[in-house]
Amino acid sequence: MNRELKPHAIFIAYPLQGHVNPSVHLARKLAENGFTITFINTQYVHHKSSRARGGNNIDDDIFVDARKSGLDIRYATISDGLPLGFDRSLNHDQYMAALLHVFSAHAEEAVENMLKSGEPVHCLIADTFFVWPAELAKKFGLLYVSYWTETALVFSQYYHMDLLRKNSHYDCRDPRDEAIDYIPGVKSIEPKDLTSFLQATDTTTVCHQIIHKAFEDVRGADIVLCNSVYELESDTISALQPKIPFFAIGPVIPFGITKNIVPTSLWAESDCSQWLDTKPHGSVLYVSFGSYAHLTKNELTEIANGLLDSNVSFVWVLRPDIVSSNDLDPLPAGFLDKMGDRGMIIKWCSQMHVLRHPAIGGFLSHCGWNSVMESMWSELPLLCFPLYTDQFTNRKLVVDDWKIGINLCDRRVNVNKVEVSEKIKRLMDGNSSSKLRDNIKHLKKVLVGALKSDGSSEKNVEQFISDVKVMISKKCQEKNGQETQ
């Protein structure tokens, strides 16, 4: 029975760029390995990515090309609970509140309708940050695979939130500032390197409610898949495994291919390759703070002036809402004139495409996990300026543990143009960054190795698929048994 089983999974992606990207590629990877996938995006993400490609087509389907290549991936969209035109960037907490309180009803309706249609469905794959999948899967007799798109070290912090509470490092009036040395598999981590939510003193925000509830829900998962690599975080992952079936299967984004067969960008991509072609090898700094976090006007000004003072060439992705969607022209007066041909400002790009260009020599990054892995793959050392959420922990991994990047400044409020300019020069100078470049070359080999047929991530994907098939067969037998009783 196992050999014949074609598992069908409903895959619900978290509606943020940094989650949609790795979700689409996990869906593709599983379909390549014999799964049928019904991939569900929110209508908002669907419309935004469709518009980014110049279309406005309600029937647009991001998996058309994947299907043409023979993969069985179906595509559906559901509401996140808010009207399409609602500004989710400006009203972030309301957006999160909709995901916390309303989205589950839409997800449940979609799952129920699919089951009612008679389509055999075995499994629900959903982002760990959703607060309801384990409960929903249980209700409909589905296997639940939780997908964690960040590092195992961040998963472990949230998973052990109670330990942090017990030791007065979290959720107390006056959190301790001594290093944390009691999380299983984590030798030591400073409070400043915890995720921003775990450093906060107000733990009642909507994001905290999401994290608290999501990490209760994940305890009901049958399996957790993590977009990291065993060799990068072996101690943390080994310590999680006895508690919860945890498979590191990253990096799932197929960095090796030059053409993305599943379009995912939520903003229109600019092409800067012609401009980059005119620049010397390794001379250009790529600057991006991802899809989600915001800079303050002061931070933006200091970074802009530091870039000018450094005399280094740069491509800067300035998302239209980088400060706020109420401030669409946040650069200091005269910046563009002073920049001239030394820099290029774009709203969005195909990041992997740009990072691969030989003219790029370094990455000033907010340290989103996808960006860190993309930088590793492109062998580019990082200048780290974490802003929010897991980015502080990622900076610790990049700067302290793996030594593939340098820190811009200790605290966001301290950022100033002199330091920005000096650190940029240090990063882009081949001599002062040679050790970082050696280390990152080594890590690239680790990523490549993990994806070889005998590599850790590929073997974990194989093991995952075989375990899922056994679990599905068991569930089918149980169901058949119940029906014949």
Q: Note the residues at the interface with ligand UDP (CB under 6 A).
A: 17-18, 21, 265, 288, 290-293, 317, 348-352, 368-371, 374
- What Rg do the C-alpha atoms of the chain give, in angstroms? 22
Q: Which is nearer to ligand UDP, 227 or 301 (CB)?
A: 227
Cα 14 from Cα 44, distance rounded (Å): 11
Residues paired with residue 362 on neighbouring β-strands, in sequence order: 285
The burial of 60, by beta-carbon neighbours within 10 Å (0-12 exposed, 13-18 middle, 19 or more buried), is given as middle
| Smallest separation, CB 348 to ligand UDP (Å) | 4
Beta strand residue intervals within 111-165, DSSP E? 123-127, 143-148
In the complex, least distance from residue 229 CB atom to ligand UDP, rounded to whole angstroms: 15
User: How far from each other are the two terminal CA atoms of the chain, in whole angstroms?
Assistant: 22
Q: What minimum distance in Å lies between the beta carbon of 253 and ligand UDP?
A: 7
In the complex, least distance from residue 372 CB atom to ligand UDP, rounded to whole angstroms: 7
Q: Which is nearer to ligand UDP, 317 or 450 (CB)?
A: 317
Residue placing its CB nearer to ligand UDP in the complex, 126 or 317: 317
The amino acid that residue 128 corresponds to is T
Cβ 391 to ligand UDP, closest distance in Å? 7
10 Å CB burial of residue 230 (0-12, 13-18, 19+) is buried
Least distance from C-beta 352 to ligand UDP, angstroms? 6
Cβ closer to ligand UDP: 105 or 268?
Answer: 268
**108: how many CB neighbours lie within 10 A of its CB?**
16
- CA–CA separation, 378 and 18 (whole Å): 18
Based on CB atoms, which residue is closest to ligand UDP, 142 or 154? 154
What is the rounded distance in angstroms from the CA atom of residue 342 to the CA atom of residue 304? Answer: 13
Three-class secondary structure of residue 354 per DSSP: helix
> What are the tokens at 469?
């098939």
Between 265 and 421, name the residue whose CB sits nearer to ligand UDP: 265
Give the Cα separation of 459 and 287 in Å (integer): 35
Nearest approach in angstroms of CB 112 to ligand UDP is 30
Q: 125 or 376: whose CB is closer to ligand UDP?
A: 376
- Our CB check for ligand UDP shows the closer of 17 and 228 to be 17
User: How far from 450 is each of 36, 63, 126, 153, CA to CA, in Å?
Assistant: 25, 26, 24, 18
CB of 199: closest distance to ligand UDP in angstroms? Answer: 17
